[in-house]
């Protein structure tokens, strides 16, 4: 039996990453995720790994790019403003088909904003964030245990699909302490051989090239279709989602990450009050659980989407249900200070249940 | 038969895309020959930058990673930390290294990353069509300094080899030129020395190469060579600004 731990979310993601074999971390401090670089700086040297505090987020993500190109399991973390600076590097990594794990513990924005929990980086995470039209795998844990579990999943999916994977948390989940039961790391499936990485040729006939530049006629289009195919495969095979009571629901509540915790309480309050309310909690934000929304709304025609922003995931919910349900939105974009209470969401559920 | 001249093994047998009179090809050759002589081809990883040199992997018969504009020293850091027993070099232009990538180069040097940086200074942004670079000379006409670089308004040419020498992590910093045969030979020796120091685990080594961009300078190849010694060298003196290999014995 593994020992139960009582840790912060920011530590849980590191424990999971290290268990999954991550030995390289490059980052730059920003609140509310500083426990991540601090934890990695303590633990990695003793494991024969490398922690390096970069001069900026721009440098950090490019160190990640280099380490990934060299074949390592590598991670970085940041929050909003820093993720913006990493966008260029992420686009290059997507173009160069490089796996890595990026943690974004979202804070309030835009600009310097505040250090409170927010979910306003949803678009930035799931729509690419950088230039050129690409996707990352995006995972949204709602507990400390899940931060640990999904850190392992993120590394495996990144390697399998050869693309960056983002763990999208927020200040609340990063700073919260909760019990964590560690378990052994078991890969999701067979992991591909990294025969594409740079090591120096060491007798290999041909040199390996890691690049995103495709100049020959038609080559870039073929490359972009190949990447697109991978995004399709993810949609077909890697959707993760938690549902509660959607079979008989008259109203479906949907929320992700820390907001989903509050939503769960509100749903059970509603059930106790005799309202048939269900919950869909996307765990993968990309690939988005389109089918699950579509199937659920074949019989239940009303969805309420709750987010800590002015409405971002709600757009993907609407696209998924494709007008077959009435999708409504309730948002609180003011940071932790405006976090909705379970009672507040219960009130919303009552209201949207009726009219 | 005695072979007196041949293509370095570290270069592929392909023809290049560089403009007539451009020195990137010459510098490629010098780097490749240094790798050959030190028998490093099998363990070297090149970091290509953005600019005319981006197609490094088309010419070098080695492993190569492409990096975003200016970020090659950070990419090199990531690669080297994973494979410390490899030889890692970046190959960067002046726009790349001395403008957008100033932070990355200074901090890689300051950390004493055990990499070699080949810095090709042609006082202009070649690939994007001849705009002003941080190394453009006072009065130099470029597409974005149509009245000549105004030192009051546009700032001063930046001397990277001297700046690098000031940093504690730098073990070797020199400036060479490739405008004349004897200087090409000298540049080759300096580049080889930088790689040799990396091989010996010395630390950060930096070689700035004064090179021509006849196309964007609007000069013939010969006049472009002339400009290097007449106009560039007074501002960018050749020499070794730091060499810790001597003190290390
Ligand atoms: C982020 C970003 N900004 C601008 C560019 C456009 N760009 C490509 S090459 C270049 C200048 C390169 O000049 P230099 O580094 O001096 O190399 P040269 O082409 O002269 O060899 C610029 C500005 C880019 N690719 N990426």
The Å distance, Cα B92 to ligand 1 centre, comes to 10
Ligand 1 and B95: CB distance under 6 A: yes
Q: Which helix (H) or strand (E) holds B234?
A: helix B233-235
Instruction: Give the nearest chain B residue to A64 (CA atoms).
Output: B78
The Å distance, Cα B90 to ligand 1 centre, comes to 15
Shared fold status for A5-188+228-234 and A242-354: yes
C-beta atoms of B81 and A64 within 8 A: no
CA A210 to chain B, closest CA, distance in angstroms equals: 5
B7 located within any domain: no
B50: confidence class by pLDDT, cuts 50, 70, 90? very high
B246: confidence class by pLDDT, cuts 50, 70, 90? confident
Ligand 1 and B128: CB distance under 6 A: yes
pLDDT one-digit tens code per residue, A326-336? 999 999 998 88
pLDDT one-digit tens code per residue, A157-188? 999 999 999 999 999 999 999 999 999 999 99
The Å distance, Cα A88 to ligand 1 centre, comes to 15
CA A54 to chain B, closest CA, distance in angstroms equals: 8
Ligand 1 and B93: CB distance under 6 A: yes
Q: Residue A70: which of B48, B78, B107 has the nearest Cβ?
A: B78
C-beta atoms of A62 and B67 within 8 A: yes
pLDDT one-digit tens code per residue, A146-165? 999 999 999 999 999 999 99
Report the CATH number at residue B187. 3.40.50.970
Please state the φ and ψ torsions of residue B225, each to the nearest 5 degrees.
-60, -40
> What is the four-CA torsion angle of A2, A6, A8, A9, rounded to 10 degrees?
40
pLDDT one-digit tens code per residue, B153-209? 999 999 999 999 999 999 999 999 999 999 999 999 999 999 999 999 999 999 999
pLDDT one-digit tens code per residue, A214-223? 999 999 999 9
Break chain A into its structural domains and give their ranges: 5-188+228-234, 242-354
| Residue from A141, A109, A125, A174 nearest A334 by CA | A109
Q: Tokens in use for B235? A: 């501002």
B127 located within any domain: yes
| Residue from A47, A32, A18, A154 nearest A81 by CA | A32
Interface of A with B (CB under 8 A): 24, 26, 50, 52, 54-56, 58-60, 62-72, 74, 88-89, 92, 96, 198-203, 207-213
pLDDT value for B90: 98
pLDDT one-digit tens code per residue, B95-124? 999 999 999 999 999 999 999 999 999 999
Ligand 1 and B72: CB distance under 6 A: no
Residue nearest to atom 2 of ligand 1 (CA): B69
Q: Which residues of A165-190 are buried (b: 16+ CB within 10 A; e: fewer)?
A: bbbbbbbbbbbbebebebeeeeeeee
Residue-number span of the structural domain to which B167 is assigned = 24-247
Residue A204 has pLDDT above 60, yes or no: yes
CA B136 to chain A, closest CA, distance in angstroms equals: 26
The distance from CA A56 to its chain's CA centroid, rounded to whole angstroms, is 22
Cβ–Cβ under 8 Å, residues A51 and A40? yes
DSSP character at residue A182: -
The answer to whether the predicted template modeling score (pTM) of the entire model surpasses 0.90 is: yes
Q: Tokens in use for A43? A: 């633990």
B17 located within any domain: no
Architecture, CATH, for domain A242-354: 3-Layer(aba) Sandwich (3.40)
B1: confidence class by pLDDT, cuts 50, 70, 90? confident
Cβ–Cβ under 8 Å, residues B138 and B156? yes
B248: confidence class by pLDDT, cuts 50, 70, 90? low
B1 located within any domain: no
Distance CA B51, CA B131 (A): 12
Q: Which fold has domain A5-188+228-234?
A: Rossmann fold (3.40.50)
Residue among A63, A64, A196 with most chain B CBs within 10 A, to mutate: A63
The Å distance, Cα A204 to ligand 1 centre, comes to 32
C-beta atoms of A24 and B82 within 8 A: yes
B10 located within any domain: no
pLDDT one-digit tens code per residue, A93-141? 999 999 999 999 999 999 999 999 999 999 999 998 999 999 999 999 9
Asked whether the CA dihedral A85, A57, B161, B93 is positive or negative, the reply is negative
* Residues on chain B touching A209 (C-beta within 8 angstroms): 57, 63-66
Domain tally for chain B?
1
Ligand 1 and B96: CB distance under 6 A: yes
Mean pLDDT of chain B: 97
B34 located within any domain: yes
Residue A337 has pLDDT above 90, yes or no: no
B118 located within any domain: yes
Q: Residue A212: which of B47, B66, B79 has the nearest Cβ?
A: B66
Residue B40 has pLDDT above 60, yes or no: yes
B66 located within any domain: yes
The Å distance, Cα B100 to ligand 1 centre, comes to 9
Q: What angle do CA B16, B19, B21 make, to 5 degrees?
A: 105
β-strands A164-170, A137-139 pairing: parallel
Mean pLDDT of chain A: 97
The Å distance, Cα B211 to ligand 1 centre, comes to 16
C-beta atoms of A62 and B71 within 8 A: yes
């Amino acid at each position: 039996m593994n020992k139960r731990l009582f840790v912060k979310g920011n530590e849980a993601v590191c424990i999971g990453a290290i268990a999954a074999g991550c030995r390289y971390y490059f980052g730059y401090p920003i609140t509310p995720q500083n426990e991540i670089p601090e934890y990695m700086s303590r633990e990695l040297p003793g494991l024969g790994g490398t922690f390096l505090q970069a001069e900026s987020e721009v440098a950090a993500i490019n160190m990640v790019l280099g380490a990934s190109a060299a074949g390592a399991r590598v991670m970085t973390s940041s929050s909003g403003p820093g993720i913006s600076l990493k966008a260029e590097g992420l686009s290059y990594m997507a173009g160069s088909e490089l796996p890595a794990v990026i943690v974004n513990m979202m804070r309030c924005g835009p600009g310097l904003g505040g250090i409170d929990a927010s979910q306003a980086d949803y678009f930035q995470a799931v729509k690419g964030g950088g230039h050129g039209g690409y996707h990352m795998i995006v995972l949204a844990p709602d507990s400390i245990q899940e931060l640990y579990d999904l850190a392992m999943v993120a590394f495996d999916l990144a390697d399998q699909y050869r693309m960056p994977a983002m763990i999208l948390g927020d200040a609340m989940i990063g700073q919260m302490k909760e019990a964590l039961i560690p378990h052994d790391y078991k890969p999701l499936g067979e992991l591909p051989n990294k025969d594409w990485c740079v090591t120096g040729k060491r007798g290999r006939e041909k040199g390996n090239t890691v690049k995103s530049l495709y100049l020959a006629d038609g080559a870039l289009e073929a490359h972009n279709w190949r990447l697109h195919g991978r995004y399709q495969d993810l949609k077909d095979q890697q959707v993760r989602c938690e549902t509660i009571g959607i079979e008989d629901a008259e109203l479906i509540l949907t929320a992700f990450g820390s907001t989903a915790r509050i939503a769960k309480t509100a749903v059970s309050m509603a059930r106790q009050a005799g309202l048939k309310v269900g919950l869909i909690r996307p765990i993968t934000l990309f690939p988005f659980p389109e089918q699950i929304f579509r199937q659920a709304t074949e019989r239940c025609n009303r969805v309420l989407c709750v987010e800590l922003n002015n409405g971002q995931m709600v757009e993907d919910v609407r696209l998924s249900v494709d007008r077959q349900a009435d999708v409504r939105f309730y948002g609180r974009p003011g940071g932790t200070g405006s976090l909705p209470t379970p009672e507040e969401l219960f009130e919303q559920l009552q209201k949207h249940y009726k009219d | 038969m005695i072979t007196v001249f041949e293509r370095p093994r570290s270069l592929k047998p392909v023809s290049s895309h560089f403009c007539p009179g451009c020195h990137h090809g010459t510098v490629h050759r010098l780097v490749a020959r240094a790798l050959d002589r030190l028998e490093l081809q099998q363990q070297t990883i090149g970091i290509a930058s953005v600019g005319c040199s981006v197609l490094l992997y088309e010419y070098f018969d080695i492993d190569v990673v492409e990096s975003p504009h200016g970020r090659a020293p950070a990419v090199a850091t990531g690669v080297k930390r994973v494979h410390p027993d490899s030889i890692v070099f970046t190959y960067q232009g002046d726009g790349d290294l001395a403008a957008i990538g100033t932070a990355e180069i200074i901090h890689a040097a300051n950390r004493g990353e055990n990499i070699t940086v080949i810095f090709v200074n042609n006082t202009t942004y070649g690939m994007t069509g001849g705009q002003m670079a941080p190394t453009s000379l006072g009065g130099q006409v470029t597409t974005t300094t149509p009245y000549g670089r105004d030192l009051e308004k546009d700032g001063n040419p930046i001397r990277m080899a001297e700046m690098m020498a000031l940093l504690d992590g730098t073990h070797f910093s020199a400036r060479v030129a490739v405008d004349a045969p004897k200087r090409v030979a000298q540049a080759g020796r300096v580049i080889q020395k930088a790689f040799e120091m990396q091989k010996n685990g010395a630390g950060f080594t930096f070689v700035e190469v004064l090179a021509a961009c006849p196309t964007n300078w609007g000069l013939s190849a010969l006049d472009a060579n002339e400009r290097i010694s007449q106009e560039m060298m007074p501002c960018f003196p050749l020499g070794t600004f730091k060499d810790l290999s001597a003190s290390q014995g």
